[in-house]
Structure 1
Amino acid sequence: MWTDGKTDMQDAGRKRASSTGRVIKSLMALNGDMAHLDKYMQDKWFVLQLAVWALRGVTRVILANNPLSGAVMLLALYWASPWQGLLGTLGVLTATLVAVILGQDSAEVWGGLHGFNGMLVSLLMGAFNSAGDWYLWLMLPVCLGSATSVFFFSGLSPVLDRWDLPVAVFPFNMVIVLYFLCTGPDNPHFPHHLAVPPSSAPPNVTALSAAQVLQGIPLGVGQIFACGSLGPSLLILAGLCLYSPLQAVHALLGSAVGTLAGLSMSVRHECLYTGLSGFNGALGCMAVGGLFFTFSWRTHLLAIACAFLSAFVDIALSNLLGSIGLPACSWAATLSATLMLLLRGSLSTYRIPLARVKAPERNLCSRSRWEAGSTVERDSTDV
């Protein structure tokens, strides 16, 4: 009797452990890059495949790659503004479809690498549009601008590949500047607001609110999607955490560093409160803090340095471009992260080849494996 009871208890314990293991395994399958989903979708309808590619494109905006996170972030955009959500959806779908029609590299299309620039183009056009929400004529430049970003991406890719550099958001920054220069604020069909330099007059005349400055830190993460609402920004952060908790931590850290840089330069309080001072710092910090470099205490410090550099460059470019009414967009983070990727010396040993970049936690776990593989490849290709 006692032996039978003990056996039953052991069996029950094994079942509980097995159930817990299955739950943990299922949860693990939902974070990171979800590469298994691509294999599952290979024989599915094109519409379903397109949806997955587009959702990956949504997360690429914030340096992630997870369709489930993309669904959460897209939901946040519709929560903040249904009109902006619609424009973002139109932009990512247009760019992805154009990439498919032009026969771009299938791996890039599946990974959402063509869609995210189109989404950013559409979101910025909507954010600066002065004709108000639901101005349907705006859909025309949104589609054209999103399609144009695919051509820029395709043209820049072989050039930057020589140095193993990502195209990143160079296409978005180029297309949106061209759009604003072509239309102007008084265009009868596509008018837009002029960008205001962060250090412009009138000077700050009210006392600084610490609570609003702290609120601006998570808003800096939302501003990567041109979203200035706290609730949707927190939901975007939750979607990023689903992809990679380490990436989410670096996003908040980078936004805080950008806010601190803005405080040191006495930028307008509005820039601090709305997160505009923090979003370039968040992007720079995420790019270095585990995505393109293996996470360590040294690359963590480098990520903080990149966040400071991105924030200060953003202030400088915003003052320069703002003098003619143009936004600085994410030029600062793009240029700063590219500079960090070109570093030589001991820090370059932490650099991850673009073809092997995954979620930061998986980059950390697989470092020894890809280093071993690279050594074998070099030995086998020596002449």
Structure 2
Amino acid sequence: MRTDSKAEVGDAGDRGRAVGSLMALTGDMERLDEYMRDKRFAPQLAVWALRGVTRVILANNPLSGALMLVALYWASPWQGLLGTAGLLTSTLVAVILGQDRAEVWGGLHGFNGMLVSLLMGAFNSAGDWYWWLLLPACLGSATSVFFFSGLSSVLDRWDVPVAVFPFNMVIVLYFLCTGPDNPYFPHRLAVPPSSAPPNVTALSVAEVLQGVPLGVGQIFACGSLGPSLLILAGLCLYSPLQAVHALLGSAVGTLAGLSMAVRHECLYSGLSGFNGALGCMAVGGLFFSFSWRTHLLAIASAFLSAFVDIALSNLLGAMGLPACSWAATLTATLLLLLPGGMSAYRIPLARVRAPERNLRSRSRWEAGSAAERNSTDV
């Protein structure tokens, strides 16, 4: 009997170690940073870059980044190459300029550069494998590092993330400097929703439902279903709660697009949902600890992001400019500055981790605060 009990304990221990090893691959994978500290520069750069890939979608897991990068190459090898070039350029420029080590290690200087190059490729009218485009993609990605550093010195005073402000600013400057008739870097003009012809075909419910996961892929300027599902799987590896909020926010954004009678193509392609997905993820457990109040605020953030996106698409589209992710960025920033009761759920930027860990950390903070109050009562 003793032998049987020892065997059961051993099996339980093996299962516990196996589960622990699998759990170490989820969330922020902080143990990996400790392991990589004394490694060579090339593998360190790979980890920093993969973290930068996931930062695009408000995550921080290099394995998730590998899945998302595979998804980009699956959807379009040319877009994958552009994204990789922008990602590595901005990361290396940050290293050369001696930017904060924690920011570089966390991929915070890579994701804006990646988005800049991806959007340049998505709106490029010269076709795939137009090698000249690598020049502005790399220059724009490098410029995003300067924007990030300058904005961080201002926004840090309010403990607000720089987010994708650099990407939105650089891409607008690029489109204003070039144009559809530029002989070297031509691009397509964005069409404002208000100027598009009214919908003349019946709405396809199946395509609208397909547009919900595509809204998650459109965060990477990816409009293919298979790669979008792989991106969603990578996000789920980082945080199931974050993946749920991404789908929920995309669905809410699609619903907002339906209420405004936007073009069916926007609904089918996921363009109506991606700002809602970003707005919902930012509030639903990442920068706010998860609760029923913040969950409702996340849904409200998704609706507001989607409606602001429609308004900005009409405004910027009149000049041929895409609205990009201005809507979600501005909405999330304003919500992070909310005073009153909701500010109690704010997580300091230095402590932001995966939503599940944020929830556990908040429970420990509250327990510690309660114990401190009890110890000081007379």
Q: TM-score, normalised on structure 1?
A: 0.95
Q: Does structure 2 conserve the Cα–Cα contact (< 8 Å) formed by 1:198 and 1:271?
A: no
Which whole-Å CA distance do the structure 2 matches of 1:197 and 1:215 have between them?
A: 23
Runs of 4+ that moved beyond 3 A = 368-376
Out of 231, 239, 250, the residue aligned to residue 245 of structure 2 is: 250
> Which amino acid in structure 2 is aligned with residue 98 of structure 1?
V
> Does the CA contact (< 8 Å) of 1:199 and 1:268 recur in 2?
no
Name the SS of the counterpart of 2:85 in structure 1: helix
For residue 24 of structure 2, give the secondary structure of its aligned residue in structure 1. helix
SS in 2 for 1:30: coil
Q: Between the two proteins, what is the percent identity of the paired residues?
A: 85
1:21-42 deviations in Å (ceiling 9; x for gaps): 0111011100000011111001
| Equivalent residue, structure 2, for 1:182 | 177
Using the alignment, how far apart are the partners of 2:31 and 2:259 within structure 1? 46
Partner of 1:312: 307
| Residue 374 of structure 2: aligned partner | none
Matching of residues 1-383 of structure 1 within 5 Å: 6-370=1-365
Name the SS of the counterpart of 2:193 in structure 1. Answer: coil
Shift of residue 10 of structure 1? 1.4
Q: Distance in 1 between matches of 2:314 and 2:122?
A: 19
Distance 2:208 2:294 in 1: 27
Question: Which amino acid letter does the alignment assign opposite residue 120 of structure 1?
Answer: L
TM superposition shift of 1:375: 11
CA positional deviation for 1:374: 9.0
User: Alpha carbon RMSD of aligned pairs, Å?
Assistant: 1.4
The offset of 1:19, in angstroms, is 1.3
Q: Secondary structure at the match of 1:364?
A: helix
Q: Which runs of 5+ in 1 are unaligned?
A: 1-5, 377-383
- TM-score when scaled to structure 2? 0.96
CA–CA separation in structure 1 for the residues paired with 2:150 and 2:65: 26
- Write the letter of the residue equivalent to 1:122: S
8 Å CA contact 1:200, 1:268 repeated in 2: no
- CA shift, 1:173, in A, is 0.1
Instruction: Give SS of 2:195's match.
Output: coil
SS at match of 2:168: helix
Question: How many Å apart are 1:7 and its aligned residue?
Answer: 2.1
**Displacement of 1:370:** 4.5
Gaps of 5+ in 2: 372-378
